Chains A and B, each alone.
Chain A
């Protein structure tokens, strides 16, 4: 079998279990403190590692865009077994939208010349959900989104793609981009050896100018959209809370009866 070089798009995000907030002036998501690898991306990393292992050759390269030369999330994926990373970090990128980000990542991915590009269906913090397909279009590649199973044979991949009614079996020649849903594989935990090795794995850091992209295409200006206002949503009020004493289910039954559901 041929070697399989896989690029996995990895987003480094603020810990989603913490409090997220918007900057009151720029309306950008506040990204302070340590960033972590988006959990959604761990499935792509695992899938990439498995496919390279099955092919008996090739490696996983991570591609990421983050402010402040942030690598802590990338180190997690490197510790899982990815070989190297490309990080685009540039103050000019602040406020970039999905299309601007796609332009940057597409240019970075091109340098790695992969057989397969993997990404999550959407990120946990921004969840625009169009970025991978925008990357595929910019690179002139086919894409299969919402994959729940991926198998490689020779120079093509066969994917089970989620649909409203079930799934489609879709075949796509390489090179191609595939987005994977969560739960598609069981991401491995980094071993101690992996964590130590990750510290010395290469992370190539690039600026927007290194990618041949005009700075006006990215960042807040390139986004060509603006936040008009942010306001608190109307709150839904809490109702009755009962502590189960072994009979609370009867109150659920009574509630359903009142609604004439039963």
Chain B
């Protein structure tokens, strides 16, 4: 084994371990002798799954009393490290809460972070990270020269999540130190936005729209086509920035990474920022007016045409079949 001990932030989706954390547990199991998870809230519902994917122990800071996870989890982890319990590496999924934990932990223990990691390899007892830069056209490898622990923030879908043979993780409680003002934010209410069909980052088919749609109203073509294909609608950063659709739809470097069986890019030119989030899709169909659009360089099927003509035709043809 390359490393002695890795801590993995066990991010949660309700009462279950978030898929991104299962991916990191799987990878950590391959790299280190000891893998421990750390989380917040009631960990009893997470222990079995975390254990099966590799965590021997699952530490929790317990109930947050309405606070956000970032400050409490980071402060508790920093306190353990300060007390001499130093892992070789801390793996954190690049999620909303994961980034909060990583940033605060980094500042607390004065260690750098490496983010947007898409692969990890052991080399001479240390970890070498892989980052896809410039829209995935170049691969950059890096490593920490700082004292451990290195803080590794890893993009979703970088590794496959595969269960091992471990039993439930042993539960342990981490005390939360006094957070002062850093812990002052309170969650007043949580709202679930009902979306029909599969989630964007889990769908087998993703249909994304970009500025080529011309106007916000035309995004309904994307939604309709996605629905007919039992897929999820996505978006380029340009139309999210323009306020046509919410940020949660964004595919790309600053949004979600998707790897569906089929990705349909409609009216998307293929800015590097978008390509990095979708170029690992198994099949890519691009529809764009501009024959020179970079998206065609990675498309398995490219249609040079107006999305406002082609999408309605596709929708009609699919409706006629059903």
Q: Which of A61-69, A78-86, A119-127 contacts B (4 or more CB under 8 A)?
A: A119-127
Interface status of B180 (Cβ within 8 A of chain A): yes
A189 interface residue (CB < 8 Å to B): no
User: Of residues B103, B140, B279, B287, which shows the largest number of chain A Cβ atoms within 10 Å of its Cβ?
Assistant: B103
**Residue from A124, A141, A145, A183 with most neighbouring chain B CB atoms (10 Å):** A183
Q: Are A169 and B191 in contact (CB under 8 A)?
A: yes
Are B136 and A224 neighbours in the complex by a CB distance under 8 Å?
A: no
Interface contact A165-B192, CB-CB below 8 Å: yes
Q: Which positions 165-212 of chain A face chain B at CB distance < 8 Å?
A: 165-173, 176, 181-183, 186
Question: Which one of A99, A164, A240, A243 contacts B107 once the chains associate, using CB atoms below 8 Å?
Answer: A99
Interface size on B, residues (CB 8 A): 95
Interface of chain B residues 183 through 220 with chain A (CB within 8 A): 183-193, 204-205
Tell me whether chain B's interface is mostly helix, strand or loop, or mixed: mixed
Considering the chains assembled together, what is the distance between the CA atoms of A151 and B26 in angstroms?
41
Decide yes or no whether B153 CB sits under 8 A from chain A: yes
Instruction: For the complex, give the distance between the alpha carbons of A225 and B96 in Å.
Output: 24
Q: Which residue of B lies closest to A97 (CB)?
A: B112
Q: Contacts A127-B253, A128-B115, A238-B297; is A170 near B68 (CB within 8 Å)?
A: yes
Q: A33 interface residue, CB < 8 Å from B? A: no
Given A121-B254, A128-B116, A165-B193, the answer on whether A182 and B240 have CB atoms closer than 8 Å is yes
- The listed residue with most A CB atoms (<10 A of its CB), out of B107, B298, B303, is B107
Residue A1 at the B interface, CB < 8 A?
no
Q: Which residues of B contact A134 (CB under 8 A)?
A: 103-104, 106-107
A255 and B301 contact, CB distance less than 8 A: yes
Report yes or no: A230 in contact with B140, Cβ–Cβ below 8 A: yes
| A244 near B303: Cβ-Cβ < 8 Å | yes
B165 interface residue per 8 A CB criterion? no
Q: Which residues does chain A contribute within 8 Å of B304, judged by CB atoms? A: 241-244
Whether a CB of chain B sits under 8 angstroms from the CB of A39 is yes
Select which of A148, A161, A232 is within 8 A of B137 by beta carbon.
Answer: A232
- Contact call A240/B247, Cβ cutoff below 8 A: no
A153 an interface residue at 8 Å Cβ cutoff?
no
Q: Does A20 contact B (CB under 8 A)?
A: yes
- Chain B residues with Cβ below 8 Å from A142 are 71, 181-185
- Give Cα A223 to B110, complex, Å: 11
Q: Which of B28-36, B41-49, B50-58, B312-320 contacts A (4 or more CB under 8 A)?
A: B312-320
Q: Is B122 an interface residue (CB 8 A)?
A: no
**A-contact 0/1 string along B203-246, CB 8 Å cutoff:** 01100000000000000000000000100000001001111001
Does B189 lie within 8 Å of A168, measured CB to CB? yes
**In the complex, chain A residues whose CB is within 8 Å of the CB of B283:** 255, 259
In the complex, how many angstroms separate the beta carbon of B96 from the nearest chain A beta carbon? 5
A24 lies within 8 A of chain B by Cβ: no
Q: Is the CB of B116 within 8 A of A226?
A: no
Residues of A within 8 A of B (CB-CB), count: 84
CB within 8 Å of B: which A113-144 residues:
121-122, 124, 127-134, 136-138, 140-144
The answer to whether residues A163 and B300 also contact, given A142-B183, A233-B136 and a CB cut-off of 8 A, is no
User: Which of the segments B2-10, B83-91, B141-149, B166-174 contacts the partner chain?
Assistant: B141-149
Which B residues are closer than 8 A to A by beta carbons?
Answer: 13, 18, 68, 70-71, 74, 94-96, 99-100, 102-104, 106-108, 110-116, 128, 132-134, 136-146, 153, 180-193, 204-205, 229, 237, 240-243, 246-248, 253-254, 261-262, 264, 272-273, 279, 283, 285, 287, 291, 296-306, 309-310, 313-314, 317-318, 321
Q: Shortest 9 CB-CB distances between A and B: which pairs?
A: A244-B305, A133-B103, A224-B146, A137-B107, A166-B193, A130-B103, A239-B300, A249-B313, A241-B302
24 contacting pairs across A/B (C-beta < 8 A): A16-B273, A99-B111, A121-B254, A130-B103, A133-B100, A134-B106, A137-B182, A140-B181, A145-B70, A165-B192, A167-B190, A170-B185, A173-B181, A228-B128, A229-B140, A231-B139, A233-B136, A238-B302, A240-B302, A241-B302, A249-B303, A250-B317, A252-B287, A252-B310
Known: A130-B113, A169-B190, A181-B240. 14 other contacts (CB 8 A): A130-B99, A130-B102, A130-B153, A142-B181, A142-B183, A148-B247, A170-B68, A171-B188, A232-B138, A238-B298, A241-B302, A244-B304, A249-B310, A261-B261
Q: A residues near B, CB below 8 A?
A: 16, 20-22, 27, 39-40, 97-99, 102, 121-122, 124, 127-134, 136-138, 140-146, 148, 158, 161-173, 176, 181-183, 186, 223-233, 235-236, 238-244, 246, 248-253, 255-256, 259, 261-262
